[in-house]
Amino acid sequence: MSEHQHVQADGTVSFLPHRLNRHPVVVRGLTADELWICCGLSGAAGLLMGTPLSWLFSTIALAPTFIVVGIALGVFVGGGILRRKKRGRPDTWLYRQLQWRITISYPLLAGWVRGQELITRSGCWTTRRGAQ
């Protein structure tokens, strides 16, 4: 097969790789977006823990130390947990799961995460066919 077999007469490519639009895995099974979320949340948790301790022990160095430790734990522990949760699921599963949980738990934030686009109805589905 030559490289020009996939190029049509108008110059468009008729063959595209299967995983072209997927985000690449960066660290421990996390994509770049998931890594930013994980680092941000774990860094914020480290800051929340380090700030009172730095005030209690009168040393400012504890706050950034807890931030770094929190990010490291968040990436390695959280990355492993997310990798196991995402295994075998579609690429957008994590984002839809977060969107659904926010929409169900906090209805006032549903507009902010576009939760109104989700189908949140629960109940029995019927075909509305009667016995004949």
Give the mean pLDDT of 90-109: 87
78-88 tens-digit pLDDT:
888 888 888 88
Q: pTM (2 decimals)?
A: 0.64
Q: How high is the pLDDT of residue 20?
A: 65
Mean pLDDT (the chain, rounded):
83
- For 23, the token pair is 């985000």
Give the mean pLDDT of 105-111: 87
Whether 25 shows a pLDDT value over 80: the answer reads no
Q: How high is the pLDDT of residue 23?
A: 72
Task: Indicate the burial class of 78 (C-beta count within 10 angstroms; 0-12, 13-18, 19 or more).
Answer: buried
Residues 27 and 25: their CA atoms lie apart, in Å, by 6
